[in-house]
Amino acid sequence: MFNNFFFIGLPYAALTVMLVGSIFRYLNFGFKVSSLSTQFLETRELFYGSRPFHWGLLYLFFGHLVAFLFPRSVLLWNSVPVRLLILEIVALGFGISAFFGLYLLIVRRLKHKRLIVVANKMDIVVYVILAVQIISGLWIAFFFRWGSSWFAGTMTPYIKSIFMFTPDIAAVSAMPLAVKIHIISGFTMIGIIPFTRFMHFLVYPFSYIWRPYQYVIWNWDRKTIRNPKVKWKIHKPTNN
């Protein structure tokens, strides 16, 4: 029952809420989608908190993604002990950097009155869930070694089964508590994306990379709208 609820029910609920909620919020409450940066109010301590936190999490996220998408390659890489060691140490390093970043960010938030003014209730949830996620991750890395290897055999099939709509929780049910917590808080994090500032990583501005620097919007095209030969088409200005 416990396992069914947390490893089948929760993932589907979280993914659904994330998809529907994020799209709904993006379309209907566009103004409220923002990274809510507080750098303007305090910049020095943010540097030491935000940089290690974000870069740490970013690499860990892609690490998990690669392990899920290419389990065979990861296992192959790990077949030489030195390479396994390097991979694990690097991953642990990013985990520690994310942990210290988060710690500094929480301290910074509590220390400055200006930052408390702009914090909201969901920020507390964000801090708690991130702390649980990062600490449980470090716990696993330290006490249940060589996760990059056993991930391929246990977690990859589980996550794959979720996405194939044939959930198979045999492997995860037998996992130690730390791993269970890590999975549960991970899915919870996905589920609360639309209700928190987590929303900002869904709007990462990839399009900036290929768009030209200057951006001009014509609200309407005078040339075509006055031309009787062009057929009337519904034209929605892009600036609203």
Partner 1 sequence: MDIRSQISMVFHLDKCIGCHTCSIACKNIWTDRKGAEYMWWNNVETKPGTGYPSKWEDQDIYKGGWEMKGKKLSLKGAGKFKGLKNMFHNPNLPVIDDYYEPWTYQYEHLFEAEAGDDQPVARPVSLITGEYITPKSGPNWDDDLSGSQEYARKDVNFKNLSAQEQEAMFQLERMTMHYLPRMCNHCLNPACVAACPSGAIYKRGEDGIVLINQKKCRAWRMCVTACPYKKSYYNWNTGKSEKCLLCYPRLESGQIPACMHSCVGRIRYLGVMLYDADKIKDVASCPESELVDRQLDIYLDPFDPEVINAAKENGIADSTIDAAQKSPVYKFVKKWGLALPLHPEFRTLPNLFYVPPLLPTMAFVENGTYETTSESFWGAIEKSRLPIKYLANLFSAGNEKTIEVVLKKLMAVRLHRRNVTVGDLPENEVTDPMKEVSMDKDTADAIFRLTSLPLFSDRFVIPAAHREEAMEMLESTADVKGNHGFGFKEPPKRGL
Write the binding mask 186 to 215 for partner 1: x where contact by CB under 8 A, - elsewhere: --------------x--x-x-xxx-x-xxx
Q: Is the Cα torsion angle 102, 108, 109, 110 positive or negative in sign?
A: positive
Pick the closer one to partner 1 by CB: 50 or 156: 50
95 and 138 Cβ atoms separated by less than 8 Å: yes
Residues between 130 and 189 that touch partner 1 (CB under 8 A): none
Residue 41 interacts with partner 1 (CB under 8 A): yes or no: yes
Q: Is 144 helix (H, G, I), strand (E, B) or coil?
A: coil
- Number of residues in contact with partner 1 under rule CB under 8 A: 51
Among 2, 40, 143, 165, binds partner 1 (CB under 8 A): 40
Alpha-carbon separation of residue 130 from 37, 53, 139, 190 (angstroms): 18, 10, 14, 11
- Tokens 């899920």 found at: 68
d(CA 46, CA 61) in angstroms, rounded, equals: 21
Applying CB under 8 A, the span of 8-16, 33-41, 82-90, 134-142 interacting with partner 1 comes to 33-41
Pick the closer one to partner 1 by CB: 16 or 43: 43
Residue 50 interacts with partner 1 (CB under 8 A): yes or no: yes
Shortest gap between Cβ of 48 and partner 1 (angstroms)? 9
**At residue 181, what is the residue type?**
I
Q: Which residues contact 15 (CB under 8 A, 6 or more apart)?
A: 187, 190, 191
Residue 235 interacts with partner 1 (CB under 8 A): yes or no: yes
Shortest gap between Cβ of 3 and partner 1 (angstroms)? 37
Other beta carbons within 10 Å of 20: 11
- With 0-12 CB in 10 A as exposed, 13-18 as middle and 19+ as buried, what is 39? exposed
Residue 33 interacts with partner 1 (CB under 8 A): yes or no: yes
Among 1, 82, 177, 217, binds partner 1 (CB under 8 A): 217
Tell which phi-psi region holds residue 118, choosing left (phi > 0), alpha (psi between -120 and 50) or beta. Answer: alpha
Residue 28 interacts with partner 1 (CB under 8 A): yes or no: no
Among 13, 15, 36, 119, binds partner 1 (CB under 8 A): 36
Chain residues that interact with partner 1, rule: CB under 8 A: 30-31, 33-43, 46-47, 50-51, 53-55, 113-114, 117-118, 200, 203, 205, 207-209, 211, 213-223, 226, 232-237, 239-240
